[in-house]
Chain A
């Protein structure tokens, strides 16, 4: 089956600045695909190239097999939900939703009917005649969604659509967006800098940084098996320790920490030398069966969790997260503890 979107060697330059250095990726039909990265990583630029708001410098953009890189935005069967919604301030909610159909030449009765159905879908039928300024942020967001879905695009592009909402609403909208995507069966390309958003909604995620795709995978893959230091650091919390690789055999490496402790962990094809080791804070437990020894510095109470900040014997700081259960002994500052590393909790990274 052809992919919904196929990017091949996409380069975008602004004058002498290169925003995207040859991005190649494929997005399957019906997929909820997320572009995740810090601001300035090129994720929005990539989205705008797919929508057609910017000219591509090099490469190909294919939509279900057709090259659309040279088409105007109004000639591309993709629609966008804008970051600040960009609802037309002088048109009613209904006219906003019907606009795309009007431009496609759908007759008035049909487009009113379809726009009405779209408003029903986002539970805003009662607001059809209002102006956008008379709606709350969450309602405007739904109008933007209905407007972009009304012309039945092949691909829906969402440019940080939840960033302007408050936390509670944002969490509710995540569930709704995911449901909507499953119901409509339309491919969603979602841009965000919020990893939690990305992890909870996406089928697959492309982590981007400095105009390059760093890793593509499911939420589990990029969290559990980050390919490099950037991904490990950007997704979730992690302890990054500089280590010396002692030996590699059968896909497992033995590494030496500065304090002298030895750990074995999964490794791809790395040979000796200095590398970074990523240890997730929740994969460490306080135990007598300890691979590592540390001195507790501070315990931070976070509600559901406890965060323990400690120093390894080699001097590096290390953080662990413990579930806030009705446990008997809490570590005290200054206390010496043994740390047990769960199987697969550490990962050797390429830089």
Chain B
């Protein structure tokens, strides 16, 4: 990745001065079409709901209040904690965390295996891992739904093999959503770990073996700590999109697997929508993500090397 730290001083100062204004278009486009909208979204989260969608320009904390507190049907009871939305957020974190764990358990051995192939075949393995990432996420998720259905090919195959009597009820469960998230973002786990293992100095493993460490002790004591930056990067790259995912929970899950993405989406659909509430939920999600990124950045700053 092109980190911000590297500079290649090319020629004279005039040249450097000359190319700097080339940043202007990206500043303008991202500034107007992304930074400004996010700022506006923050403002909207403090506005009053318009019932046909949209907002009334009156400032209020109603959206956040609705998110965290229950004041009864008519809003006149003493506030109690509203668990509905907190539960949805908590479930999203939990689901994203489990999906990240699944990706790690499968992704690390895969990345290690590929990185230890001879240079000749490594490219082909890596290519095989990346292809599915390039296939439309919607198509992949639909395909997974098709495969996992009660009457789908997987249950069909298992039944005809006599391994199960009745179809495994996977679709519309938490497990289906986890599998979907795992399936969606697995390459994001493999690639950074692969990059870290490729840079790994295998003499360290030999040194550990030489100093009486078994294969698994070497993995635990040396390999994992040394390639940790790659593992953490992989976990972040899987966890963040999983947290705000929409397609996997929507297409593979059911009512009980409702996640943040669907909650926010609902607020902007038709007359049932509530824009300030949707904006507030999006703000809370973004805060959560920025929090994770901040911890990551600080951990990176403290890391040796």
Which residues of A are interface residues toward B (Cβ below 8 A)?
Answer: 51-53, 72-75, 78-80, 82-84, 86-90, 99-100, 103-104, 131, 133, 147-148, 151
Complex Cα spacing A96 to B203, Å: 14
Known A-B contacts: A74-B214, A86-B206, A103-B208. Give 8 more (CB < 8 A): A53-B210, A80-B207, A82-B206, A83-B203, A84-B201, A89-B304, A147-B211, A151-B212
CA distance A84 to B226 in the complex (A): 17
**B interface, over-half SS:** helix
Which B185-242 residues have C-beta < 8 A from chain A? Answer: 201, 203-204, 206-214, 217, 221-222, 225-226, 228
Task: Select one of B203, B206, B217 contacting A73, CB under 8 A.
Answer: B206
Top 3 A-B pairs, shortest CB-CB distance: A100-B211, A73-B209, A86-B203
Whether A52 and B209, one on each chain, are in contact in the complex, defined by CB atoms closer than 8 angstroms, is yes
**Which chain B residues numbered 70 to 101 have a C-beta less than 8 Å away from chain A?**
none
Partner of B204, one of A53, A80, A88, A100: A88
A-B contact count (CB 8 A): 74
Size bin of chain B's contact surface:
20 to 34
* Residues of B contacting A75 in the complex (Cβ-Cβ under 8 angstroms): 212
Nearest-Cβ distance from residue A17 to partner chain B, whole angstroms: 15
Is B302's CB within 8 Å of the partner chain A? no
Shortest CB distance A259–B (Å): 53
Q: How far is the CA of A16 from the CA of B217 in the complex (A)?
A: 34
Chain B residues with Cβ below 8 Å from A104 are 212
List residues of B whose CB falls within 8 A of some A CB.
201, 203-204, 206-214, 217, 221-222, 225-226, 228, 304-305
Closest A residue to B211 using CB positions: A100
The interface residues of chain B lying within 8 Å CB-to-CB of A80 are 206-207, 210
Docked-complex contact A79 and B204, CB < 8 angstroms = no
B218 and chain A: residue at smallest CB distance: A74
Q: List the B residue with the shortest CB-CB distance to A131.
A: B304
Query: Can you pick out 12 interface pairs between chain A and chain B where the beta carbons lie within 8 Å of each other?
Result: A53-B210, A74-B214, A79-B210, A84-B201, A84-B203, A86-B207, A88-B204, A100-B210, A103-B213, A147-B207, A147-B211, A151-B211
**Distance (whole angstroms) from the CB of B21 to the closest CB of chain A:** 39
Return the chain B residue nearest A147 by Cβ: B211
Given known A-B contacts A52-B209, A84-B203, A89 and B217 have beta carbons under 8 A apart: no
Closest approach, in angstroms, between the C-beta of B288 and any C-beta of chain A?
29
In-complex Cβ contact of A51 among B210, B212, B217, B228 (8 A): B210
A90 closest partner in B (C-beta): B225
Nearest-neighbor residue (CB-CB) of A132 within chain B? B304
The CA-CA distance from A100 to B212 in the complex, in Å, is: 6
Determine if B210 and A74 form an interchain contact, defined as CB atoms under 8 angstroms apart.
yes
A307 to B117: give the CA distance in the assembly, Å.
Answer: 52
Q: Which of B214, B217, B221 has the most CB of A within 10 A?
A: B221
